[in-house]
Amino acid sequence: NAGVTQTPKFRVLKTGQSMTLLCAQDMNHEYMYWYRQDPGMGLRLIHYSVGEGTTAKGEVPDGYNVSRLKKQNFLLGLESAAPSQTSVYFCASSYRGDEKLFFGSGTQLSVL
């Protein structure tokens, strides 16, 4: 059972570089989410999607873009990475959006 899979697990970027984080789920979930976690801050919602082709902003969307071209995939892009984006990124999904979330194992991103 794959569940929610995030790639890559670790990445180091230089300031100004771009990258895309991929989240894939095999549970036929409608809702997908991207969170970031910083020390002492809990999880903060970056963007989310309530279905294929839809995206919406969360609490901290600036500097990130997302796309949900296929139901099973949710991509998080950083166009010009900044040191403030050093964080652990978690993807999550749920079937209806009013029930528990299933989380991926996280991506540790460092921007130098």
Residue numbers at the binding site for another protein (CB under 8 A): 31, 33, 35, 40-45, 48, 50, 58-59, 90, 92, 97-101, 103-106
For the bound state, the minimum distance from the C-beta of residue 7 to another protein, rounded and expressed in Å, comes to 14
For the bound state, the minimum distance from the C-beta of residue 44 to another protein, rounded and expressed in Å, comes to 7
Answer for the pair 49, 66: CB distance below 8 angstroms, yes or no.
Answer: yes
Indicate the residue among 26 and 79 with the shorter CB distance to another protein.
26
Indicate the residue among 14 and 98 with the shorter CB distance to another protein.
98
Task: Please state the three-class secondary structure of the chain as a single string.
Answer: CCCEEEECCEEEECCCCCEEEEEEECCCCCEEEEEEECCCCCEEEEEEECCCCCCEECCCCCCCEEECCCCCEEEEEECCCCHHHCEEEEEEEECCCCCCCEECCCEEEEEC
Indicate the residue among 64 and 90 with the shorter CB distance to another protein.
90
Indicate the residue among 14 and 39 with the shorter CB distance to another protein.
39
For the bound state, the minimum distance from the C-beta of residue 43 to another protein, rounded and expressed in Å, comes to 4
